[in-house]
Amino acid sequence: MDLPEISGMSKAAVEAAMDLFKKLAGPVFEEFGGLLQDQVKFWRFKNGVRILQKAKRFLDDAGVSPQQVSLKVLISSFGDGSLEEDEAMQDRWASLLANAADPNSEVSVLPSFAEILKELSPKEAAILDTLFIHATPLPPVNAKKPYSVSTVAMGVFKHEVGLSDDELEILINNLSRLGLCLQKMNFTVSSPSGEEERGGLSLTPLGFAFVSACRPPERKR
């Protein structure tokens, strides 16, 4: 397969990214390679290669030898992910792919995660990251529930993500529709200003699993 030149990337870097794609795709690589040349626009191909490069770096940093992954995850990461020009969102696509390719990963990568990720905006993803950071991990012995949900005040998202009240409400509605977070009104929590605020937001189990899959794999000790 002849690969086009990509500005800012060496031929070796592109070839290394596509070599990872070949390992992940298995026998269907040749057929999909033709699809890349004939149907995928150049700018999408360029973004897709960047996602593969990031996934390769995440795997290398974690000391992981990749396994073949589900075609749903692979094609979505390369195809749907290639529509994403935001750097942080590309990192999430690459992390999703890297976790799926890690044979020893403790993170579950459901095929639906790719469908969820392509529906998110960078600001919605930032809300989920903020919720994830506030979730408290529990000891590994508790396999059924590996974290403790924390309810985060709405003011935190306005402050850290830079959202207006109206925008925050719309984004939360979408995240709730996707089953990723839960709005709780029977809680009193502290806002960034130190004042007590009624109501907040927390991750659902699905939301926690999704965000975990969209973060780079960690090196096993």
| pLDDT tens column, 8-56 | 677 788 788 878 877 787 766 666 655 555 544 667 778 888 999 999 9
Please list the residue range(s) of the chain that carry CATH number 1.10.10.10: 122-212
Lowest mean pLDDT across 103-107, 132-136, 158-162:
132-136
Task: Report the mean per-residue pLDDT for the chain.
Answer: 81
- Enumerate long-range contacts of 103-112, CB under 8 Å, 24 or more apart: 103/64, 103/65, 103/66, 103/67, 104/64, 104/220, 105/217, 107/209, 107/212, 107/213, 107/217, 108/209, 108/213, 109/70, 109/73, 109/213, 110/209, 110/213, 111/70, 111/72, 111/73, 111/76
Question: What CATH number is given for 122-212 in this structure?
Answer: 1.10.10.10
| pLDDT tens column, 162-172 | 888 899 999 99
| pLDDT tens column, 135-150 | 665 444 444 554 555 7
